Amino acid sequence: MSILYQVFAFLLMFGIIVLVHEFGHFTAARLMGVRVETFSFGFGKRLLGRRMGKGGTEFRLSAIPLGGYVKMAGEESYDPADLKADEFYAKNRGQRIFILLMGPAMNILLAFVILAVIFMAGVNVERYHQDPPVIDYVQSSSPAADAGLKAGDRILAMDGREIKNWQDLEYAIGANPDQTVAVKYLRDQQVVETRMRISSFTEYSLGYAGLHPEFRTLIENVEPGSPAQRAGIRAEDRILAVDNQSVNYFELPQLIQQAGDSPLHLDIQRGQEQLKIKVTPEKARDEERYRIGIAMKPFAPSVKRYFGPLAATARSAKELVRLTTLTFDAFRKMIVGRLSPKNLSGPIEIARFSSRALSSGLSSFFMLVAFISLQLGIINLFPIPALDGGHLMIFSLEAILRRDFSMRLKEGLITGGFILLIALMVFVILNDIAKALPNGWDSLLPF
């Protein structure tokens, strides 16, 4: 996927989120009678802009598209003896707090509305999500294999939480990357307990255990001149079985290697038709591995579910609560050392995720927009100077102490907050780069 496409997808997603956030501040300021001097998408040098509306607000596009801001009259400095009625600090603390809260609140509202609309428009739900979590396949050398789990085991609990279906199991694995968790499972009518060390996030999920439901193989494309093409295999075919044995997507490559140059008999589903096709693997030039020349991905039957307005609203609220709980749980684990900061994603990773989501369709893209918007709304409420939450903390302390801090103290706190945010941004960018390198951080560190 081209870098330009990734940049486009990232800017599209981030543009929506930032504009909604700043629109929240802008609208609240205007409602409270505060004059807004600048509404900027991006930071740094002004590229273009135009003054519009009552009060002459300049709507501006700036050079660095990694955020945005609303500059209100009297926000950065003020003379208590010469406050104008339309300046930020001329308003009481309740009004100022309302203006600050509206930015994160709009991000959370955006996530809620997007999710509700997606649920009403219909979502593809893979049927196995609501099935009992009976393992169909365990990858070799995976955390699940190391823990002694096998195909046919039924997961009962993980990390002290009851697991009713595959969706519960996927959430539990995703919530515990780099953690050792207790696992309770059923084997041959006996309840067994073990411990499993969940690996760090992969390209597709936060945590990885290597245990899978019944995934079949969907052929994405067939290489011209390959054994698969000569045998008559086509894109969109589904492989159901190999040599009359049901086969999981994850074990197919291993079966191809084991067959060597002996023929494999595949049961193929093509639309409503079922076929039997014989294909013989071969070694590619200058390669040691056998192959049949297909690109494939896991496939599980799904059904499209539609929700009415009330059901979609309830489902959206439930999903927001789940994601918010997951977010705070992740930060809690990071603070106490149970989760590595290396699991954080920066702009490079987010650009990659956003471009992949956009390629998958508008539903996937806006689902990611909702998720990132919610995260930014929550993070903006953290009590870090330079974030909305930092300003709220200062106003709250002033209310408790019943006196205003000096502008010099406020500016010092905000400057410290900016330095902290810049350091965090540098870390997550380097972390994104490290994830793409073969030896991770060892490739970046000089010692």
Say whether both 374 and 402 belong to one domain.
yes
Evaluate whether 248 touches 214 at the Cβ level (below 8 Å): yes
Say whether both 337 and 417 belong to one domain.
yes
Q: How confident is the model over 207-236, as pLDDT tens digits?
A: 789 999 988 889 989 999 899 999 999 999
Q: Is 22 a catalytic residue?
A: yes
Question: Strands 238-242 and 264-270, how do they pair?
Answer: antiparallel
Say whether both 115 and 134 belong to one domain.
no
Cβ neighbours of residue 342 under 8 Å, at least 6 residues apart?
Answer: 200, 431, 434, 441
The pLDDT score that the predictor gives to residue 446 is 56
Evaluate whether 14 touches 348 at the Cβ level (below 8 Å): no
Helices then strands, counting H and E runs in the chain, come out as: 11, 18
Say whether both 193 and 234 belong to one domain.
no
Classify each residue of 241-270 as buried b or exposed e, where b means 16 or more C-beta atoms within 10 Å of its C-beta: ebeeeebbbbbbeeebeebeeeebebbbbe
7, pLDDT greater than 90: no
Assess if residue 68 is contained within a domain: no
Which domain-ending residue is among 212, 235, 257?
212
Instruction: Name the active-site residue from 22, 75, 170, 319.
Output: 22
Say whether both 378 and 289 belong to one domain.
no
Domain of residue 162, CATH code: 2.30.42.10
Which domain-ending residue is among 299, 330, 364?
299
The pLDDT score that the predictor gives to residue 1 is 53
Q: How confident is the model over 361-402, as pLDDT tens digits?
A: 888 899 999 999 999 999 999 988 888 999 899 888 888 888
The pLDDT score that the predictor gives to residue 21 is 94
Helix segments in 47-156, DSSP class H: 93-121, 143-146
The pLDDT score that the predictor gives to residue 89 is 86
The pLDDT score that the predictor gives to residue 292 is 93
Whole-angstrom distance, CA of residue 94 vs CA of residue 157: 46
Whole-angstrom distance, CA of residue 249 vs CA of residue 272: 20
Assess if residue 356 is contained within a domain: yes
435, pLDDT greater than 80: no
Say whether both 221 and 208 belong to one domain.
no
Assess if residue 375 is contained within a domain: yes
Classify each residue of 130-165 as buried b or exposed e, where b means 16 or more C-beta atoms within 10 Å of its C-beta: eeebbbbbbbeebbbbbbebeeebebbbbbeeebee
Identify the domain containing residue 421 by its residue range: 91-122+308-447
Assess if residue 83 is contained within a domain: no
12, pLDDT greater than 90: no
> To which residue do tokens 């919610």 refer?
374
Count how many domains the chain has.
3
The pLDDT score that the predictor gives to residue 206 is 65
Of 376, 380, 387, 377, nearest to 414 (Cα)? 387
pTM: 0.76
